[in-house]
Amino acid sequence: MYLIKTEVERAGLPIEIVLMPIIELAYYLFSYSHSMASGLWQFIPSTGKLYGLENNWWYDSRRDVLASTKTAVKYLKNLNKLFNGDWLLAIAAYNSDPGLYKKLLLKINNKVN
């Protein structure tokens, strides 16, 4: 938890981000979902690959605490930018499909305007 807190603070993210792996899976490093998400930060293979996480027969960096935490911080910062600084949307999109949230926001904004 200390390592995650250090990376989150260093990147300037809200400290509550540290709690995401606890809420999601009780810090169980070897968790695996039906969508093939793995590790503390539950990266699916495609997102992991997009952000440079290595995954081969011998090593899965999605399960490496430091590598996956640094990657999660980058991904969350990108999502925060995508959603104009809205951390709630960034966190929600982290757990699903950012494109889906962007489409929903466009629909909502079009109906409001």
CATH number, domain at 44?
Answer: 1.10.530.10
> How many separate domains does the chain show?
1
Q: Show the domain range for 42.
A: 2-112
Distance separating alpha carbons of residues 85 and 107, to the nearest angstrom = 19
Q: What is the pTM of this model?
A: 0.84
Residue 16: active-site member? no
- pLDDT tens, 63-78? 999 999 999 999 999 9
Per residue in 81-92, is it b (16+ CB within 10 Å) or e — as a string? ebbeeeeebbbe
Q: Beta-carbon neighbour count of residue 80 at 10 Å?
A: 19
pLDDT, position 59:
92
pLDDT, position 8:
96
Q: Which one of 7, 9, 24, 54 is the catalytic residue?
A: 24
- pLDDT tens, 19-37? 998 887 777 666 767 778 8
pLDDT, position 16:
94
**Mean pLDDT computed over every residue of the chain:** 87
pLDDT, position 58:
92
Is residue 5 predicted with pLDDT exceeding 90? yes
